[in-house]
C-alpha cells in the first residue's frame, strides 16, 4: 500500500479561475439593472456636490467595473492558453469512434429555459487536477471555460469535488454533502483508478458506484456521466484489473442508463493510434495527466456534452433512457 502513496496526493483546493467567468454575466446584468433603477440627476449650470450616498455608489460602481475588467482579462488569458496548448500537438477524437447516442435532458432543459446549470465534477486526484501546472488548467476548469464559450449567455458553474487518493469507498462517504446536496444538473463521476492501484475488487467498486448512481437519481433530476480510469504506465502495470474495471463501469452505466466517457480508450488511442508519446500527456509519476492531457480530455468531454445537449435542443428523437455516448 505504501508504494502507492505517490499516486494519492491531495490536489489543490484553489478557487478555479474559470469560475470568475461564470460571475461576469450576472454581475453585468446586476449593474445594468442598478443603472436603470437609479434616475439620473437633474442637469444645472452649477450642479450641487454629490451626496455621500452618491459618492459611495459611484465608487462601488467603479470598483465593480475594475474587477470585471480584470476578470475579463484573466478569462482571455486562460482561453488563449487553452488554444496555445494544442498548437504543437492537436487534440483529436479517436478515429472510427461511435457517434454520440444519448442525451443530457436535464442540462439541455435548463439551457433552453435560460436557467442556471450546475455541474459537479466528482472524483479523485485527476479531477482535483494533480499534475496540472496551475489549478486553472485542471479538467473541470477547462470544461467550464469551453462550455461558457459555447453558451455565452448561460449561467454555468462547474464545482470541483475531486479529492486526491480517494475511490468509491471514500467517495460514498461524501456523496450526500458534496454531490446530492448541491442539487446538480449534471454529475461527472471519475472513479476506479485508485481501486486498480490498490488491488481492490473491481466488482465491489462497481457495486458501490451503482449504489451511488441510484442515490443521485433518487434525489433529483440530474444527468450522470461516468469517467473510467486513465491509460497510463502505473495503471497499465495492473492491466487485468484495469480491464475488468473499465468493463464493469461500462456495464453499470448501461444498467443504470447513464453516460460514460471512455477515458481509458481515448487515452490509449492518443498513444497507439495517434502516435503521441505517453510522456506528452502523463507526468513523470506515470499516472497523472499533464496540462495537455487534461486539456484534451476536457475538450473531448465538452464536445460530447455540447453534442448531446444539441440533440435535445434540435428536437432529435433520442430515447430518454439511453444516455451512453462515446466520442466521435
Query: Given this model, what pLDDT does residue 63 score?
Result: 60
The 3-state DSSP class for residue 123 equals strand
The 3-state DSSP class for residue 319 equals coil
Name the H helices within 201-289: 202-219, 233-236, 239-256, 263-272
Tell me: pLDDT of 44 over 60.
no
Cα separation of 36 and 83, whole Å? 38
Q: What are 122's strand-pairing partners?
A: 161, 189
Residue at 89 is within a domain: no
Residue at 106 is within a domain: yes
Its domain, for residue 129, covers 99-314
The 3-state DSSP class for residue 229 equals coil
Residue at 54 is within a domain: no
Report residue 32 CA to chain centroid gap: 30
Report residue 230 CA to chain centroid gap: 16
Residue at 141 is within a domain: yes
**215 Rama sector, left if φ>0, alpha if ψ -120 to 50, beta otherwise:** alpha
Mean pLDDT of 257-286: 96
User: Mean pLDDT, the chain, as a whole number?
Assistant: 79
Nearest to 264 by CA among 241, 128, 252, 209: 241
Q: Supply the CATH number for residue 241's domain.
A: 3.40.50.1110
| The three cell numbers locating residue 308 | 448531446
As for how many domains the chain has, the answer is 1
The answer to whether 90 and 274 are in contact (CB under 8 A) is no
Mean pLDDT of 310-314: 69
Which residues lie below 8 Å from residue 32, measured CB to CB, with a gap of 6+?
A: none
| The three cell numbers locating residue 295 | 486539456
Cα separation of 293 and 192, whole Å? 18
Tell me: pLDDT of 98 over 70.
no
Residue at 37 is within a domain: no
Element at 188 (helix H, strand E):
strand 186-190
Residue at 325 is within a domain: no
pLDDT digits (tens, 9 = 90+) for 148-172: 999 999 999 999 999 999 999 999 9
pTM over 0.85: no
Which letter does DSSP use for residue 96 in this model?
Answer: T
Query: Given this model, what pLDDT does residue 80 score?
Result: 54
The answer to whether 197 and 177 are in contact (CB under 8 A) is no
The answer to whether 323 and 103 are in contact (CB under 8 A) is yes
Mean pLDDT of 297-326: 67
Residue at 231 is within a domain: yes
Cα separation of 82 and 292, whole Å? 9
pLDDT-derived band of residue 95, with 50, 70 and 90 as boundaries?
Answer: confident
pLDDT-derived band of residue 129, with 50, 70 and 90 as boundaries?
Answer: very high
CB atoms within 10 A of CB 243: 14
Mean pLDDT of 304-318: 71
Q: What are 246's strand-pairing partners?
A: none
Cα separation of 140 and 157, whole Å? 10
Residue at 34 is within a domain: no
Amino acid at each position: 500500500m505504501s508504494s502507492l502513496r505517490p499516486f494519492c496526493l491531495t490536489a489543490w483546493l484553489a478557487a478555479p479561475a474559470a469560475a470568475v467567468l461564470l460571475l461576469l454575466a450576472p454581475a453585468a446584468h446586476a449593474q445594468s439593472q442598478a443603472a436603470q433603477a437609479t434616475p439620473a440627476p437633474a442637469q444645472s449650470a452649477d450642479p450641487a456636490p454629490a451626496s455621500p450616498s452618491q459618492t459611495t455608489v459611484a465608487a462601488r460602481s467603479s470598483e465593480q467595473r475594475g474587477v470585471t475588467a480584470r476578470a475579463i482579462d484573466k478569462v482571455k488569458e486562460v482561453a488563449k492558453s487553452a488554444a496555445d496548448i494544442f498548437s504543437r500537438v492537436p487534440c483529436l477524437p479517436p478515429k472510427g469512434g461511435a457517434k454520440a447516442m444519448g442525451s443530457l435532458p436535464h442540462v439541455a432543459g435548463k439551457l433552453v429555459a435560460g436557467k442556471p446549470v450546475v455541474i459537479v465534477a466528482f472524483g479523485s486526484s485527476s479531477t482535483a487536477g494533480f499534475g496540472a501546472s496551475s489549478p486553472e488548467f485542471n479538467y473541470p476548469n477547462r470544461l467550464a471555460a469551453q462550455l461558457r464559450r459555447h453558451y455565452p449567455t448561460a449561467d454555468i458553474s462547474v464545482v470541483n469535488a475531486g479529492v486526491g487518493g480517494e475511490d468509491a469507498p471514500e467517495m460514498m462517504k461524501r456523496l450526500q454533502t458534496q454531490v446530492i446536496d448541491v442539487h446538480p444538473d449534471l454529475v461527472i463521476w471519475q472513479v476506479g483508478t485508485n481501486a486498480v492501484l490498490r488491488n481492490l475488487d473491481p466488482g465491489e467498486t462497481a457495486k458501490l458506484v451503482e449504489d451511488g448512481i441510484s442515490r443521485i437519481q433518487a434525489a433529483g433530476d440530474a444527468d450522470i456521466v461516468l469517467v473510467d480510469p486513465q491509460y497510463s504506465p502505473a495503471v497499465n502495470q495492473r492491466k487485468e484489473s484495469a480491464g475488468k474495471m473499465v468493463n464493469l463501469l461500462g456495464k453499470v452505466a448501461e444498467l443504470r442508463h447513464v453516460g460514460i466517457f471512455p477515458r481509458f480508450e481515448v487515452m490509449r488511442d492518443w498513444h497507439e493510434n495517434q502516435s503521441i508519446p505517453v510522456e506528452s500527456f502523463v507526468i513523470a509519476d506515470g499516472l497523472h495527466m499533464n496540462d495537455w492531457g487534461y486539456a484534451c480530455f476536457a475538450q473531448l468531454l465538452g464536445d460530447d456534452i455540447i453534442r448531446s445537449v444539441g440533440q435535445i435542443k434540435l428536437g432529435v428523437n433520442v430515447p430518454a433512457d439511453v444516455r451512453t455516448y462515446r466520442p466521435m
